[in-house]
Amino acid sequence: MTQVRSKERLWTRDLVLASMANLFLAFVFYLLMTTMAGYAIERFSASDTIGGLTSSVFVIGATVARLFAGNLADLVGRRRTLTISLVVFLIASLSYLPADALDSLGVLLVVRAIHGVAFATASTAAMTLAQSLIPASRRAEGTGYFTLSITLATAIGPFVALLLVHGPGYRALFTAGCIASALAMITALFLRTPHVPLPAEQRARLRRFHPRDMLHANVVPVASFMFVMAVSYSGVLTFLNSYANERGLETAASVFFLVYAAVLFLSRFVAGPLQDRRGDNLVVYVAIGAFAAGLAVLAAAHTNTVLLLAGGLMGLGFGTLMSALQSIAVARVPMPRIGVAISTHFLMVDLGVGVGPVLLGLLLSHTGYTRMYLLLATVVLLSAALYHLVHGRVDQARRRQTDPVEVAEPAAAQ
């Protein structure tokens, strides 16, 4: 008689609290990221270049912090790192109001940089905490559900931002950011998480903050794949509105990321459990195909419906890859080093999103939007070979080894 294995419990009180804290963090990020360039131009009569810097200096601060955040979380403690960084995150959120009152662009840039550092540190600690709470047998499923907090913020943050900016104004926007930051901090205070002790030798090594300890060698190969994906996705983030305006598709562009988030939300309930049961490759290769298809459809979009179809395919593609590869990264390291695994993963994503607009901007002047998106679709498809080299063949070999055991278990139980 075949024994039925019961699933390990996934949702716990602390995982819910960690997800809520991450939701508030991501909400503030998207709330401000979509409005800072316009705010600097309107409030300080800044140029487009300085307006872009006001937005991107947050990402610059976050990218620098990723080098230290994972190491810090593993060394100091994940809950303590989360709490301290959230306090700094709240102070930075409160600082937008005096920066506005002082009429100082310089102060605003400093606030944005500090805010980025606090965000990267807090989000790395929150994700590390969540991974320590997710059973290994349900890693992909749990990671997918946890990152739904980011998916919701992707949809809600820009919507609320535009609502406030076109309504009560920027001070109301900053106040909303303060409230969400305070809620993130309060939520984190109620977290109870397991302590993962480090051996004395490893703790002494981490205190030196040597470069080789800031990025995990086992994660760098799969993170390099995500760098390519992030560069390709940055072409959508950066140039979608200009492309839509050129083709008269402003209506669809305004809800593009809502469709992206909706499809991603629904796919999470399938992709994560499927990855746990059937392995990484099935989910990742399908997501690569969907992402490439989304870019190709975007290149051919001449109607609002086609543009929204591209948004849905992007959610199924790039959105799924973000959680799937995070799960793969975590599985490649021992439990005490999860923080560095996550910071390595997101460092490469941040670099891709930061470098991508510069590279693609140079390319755009020679290709135009249509050919640029078609070229990116080709790059994404070809990246399947990169994934196979850095992880796909390993997962394939592992599945070959485990499948016979799974088939033989019922016979052994009879």
* Residues 257 and 155 reside in one and the same domain: no
Query: What would the pLDDT profile of 363-384 be if each residue is shown by its tens digit?
Result: 888 888 999 999 999 999 999 9
The mean pLDDT value for 251-271 works out to: 88
Domain containing 90 — which CATH number?
Answer: 1.20.1250.20
On whether both 148 and 239 belong to a single domain, the answer is: no
Whether residue 173 sits in one domain with residue 243: no
How high is the pLDDT of residue 299? 95
Q: Please compute the mean of the pLDDT values over residues 162-189 and round it to a whole number.
A: 93
Which range among 118-132, 275-289, 347-361 shows the weakest confidence by mean pLDDT?
347-361
The total of structural domains in the chain comes to 2
What is the per-residue pLDDT for 196?
62
Percent of the chain residues topping a pLDDT of 90: 38
Q: Where does the pLDDT of residue 412 fall: very low under 50, low under 70, confident under 90, or very high at 90 and above? A: very low
Do 275 and 387 have their domain in common? yes
Q: Is residue 144 part of a domain?
A: yes
Both 347 and 241 in one domain: the answer is: yes
201 located within any domain = no
Please indicate, yes or no, whether residues 148 and 278 belong to a single structural domain of this protein.
Answer: no
Residue 215 is classified by DSSP as S
Q: Of 193, 223, 247, which one is at a domain's C-terminal end?
A: 193
What pLDDT score was predicted for residue 317? 95
The residue from 193, 223, 244 where one domain ends is 193
On whether residue 1 sits in a domain, the answer given is no
Q: 81 with 151, same domain? A: yes
Confidence of residue 406 (pLDDT cuts 50, 70, 90): very low
Q: Does the residue 410 lie in any domain?
A: no
Residue 4 has pLDDT above 60, yes or no: no
Domain boundary among 129, 159, 193: 193
Q: What is the pLDDT of residue 37?
A: 78
What band does 362 get if pLDDT is binned at 50, 70 and 90?
A: confident
Range of the domain at 324: 215-403
Average pLDDT (56-67) is 85
What are the distances in angstroms from CA 49 to CA 40, 54, 256?
Answer: 10, 9, 25
Contact 312, 295 (CB under 8 A): no
Q: Is residue 62 part of a domain?
A: yes
Q: What's residue 70's pLDDT?
A: 74
Runs of H (alpha helix) within 77-219: 78-102, 105-133, 139-146, 148-165, 170-189, 200-207, 211-214
Which residues have C-beta within 8 Å of that of residue 321, sequence separation ≥ 6?
Answer: 226, 229, 284, 287, 288, 291
Asked if residue 379 and residue 234 are part of one domain, the reply reads yes
**219 part of a folded domain:** yes
* pLDDT higher than threshold 80 for residue 197: no
pLDDT in tens, 69-99: 877 777 777 888 899 999 999 999 999 999 9
248 shares its domain with 138: no
pLDDT of 51 reads 76
The per-residue pLDDT for 212 is: 62
Position 212, amino acid: R
Q: What is the pLDDT of residue 409?
A: 39
Report DSSP letters for 54-84, one per residue: HHHHHHHHHHHHHHHHHHHHHHH-HHHHHHH
Residues in the chain: 414
Looking at every residue in the chain, the average pLDDT score rounds to 85
Higher pLDDT, 40 or 387: 387
pLDDT digits (tens, 9 = 90+) for 305-323: 999 999 999 999 998 998 8
Q: List the structure tokens of 160.
A: 């609320």
DSSP SS3 for 348: helix
Q: 294 with 374, same domain?
A: yes
Instruction: Please report whether residue 414 resides in a domain.
Output: no
Do residue 244 and residue 162 come from a single domain?
Answer: no
With a cut of 70, say whether residue 413 has pLDDT above it. Answer: no
pLDDT, one tens digit per residue, over 281-309 is 999 999 999 999 999 999 999 999 999 99
Give the C-alpha distances (Å, rounded to integers) separating 253 from 155, 242, 354. 13, 10, 22
Give the whole-angstrom CA distance, residue 57 versus residue 116.
8
Q: pLDDT: is 326 or 225 the higher one?
A: 225
In a domain, 210, yes or no: no
Q: Identify whether residues 62 and 155 lie together within a single domain.
A: yes
